[in-house]
Amino acid sequence: MANGLKPAWELEQEARAINATDWEPPPGMVKRQCDWCRYFFAAPATSHEPRCPDCRTLTAPPRVK
């Protein structure tokens, strides 16, 4: 790419490749596998959220003010 930016599909592919490797969650966080997309993500040890932030965003009910 002339502008140095990678296409979204390539970034997605890279993220998945990195995600597939064995990584350690930050201190105080636990490693979880998303129930929906099978993606590994770090969640607070106190959280029982079974979905990754992406899926949570996608499925979050609209906020009513």
Identity of the residue numbered 14: E
Residue 65 Cβ vs Zn ion, minimum distance, rounded to whole Å: 27
Please select the residue that binds Zn ion; options are 37, 45, 47, 50, rule is CB under 5 A: 37
Name the residue nearer to Zn ion (CB basis): 43 or 52: 52
Name the residue nearer to Zn ion (CB basis): 29 or 36: 36
Q: Are 43 and 32 in contact (CB under 8 A)?
A: yes
- What CA–CA distances, in Å, run from 50 to 9, 14, 42, 58, 63? 25, 23, 11, 14, 21
Instruction: Catalog residues that contact Zn ion under the rule CB under 5 A.
Output: 34, 36-37, 39, 52, 55
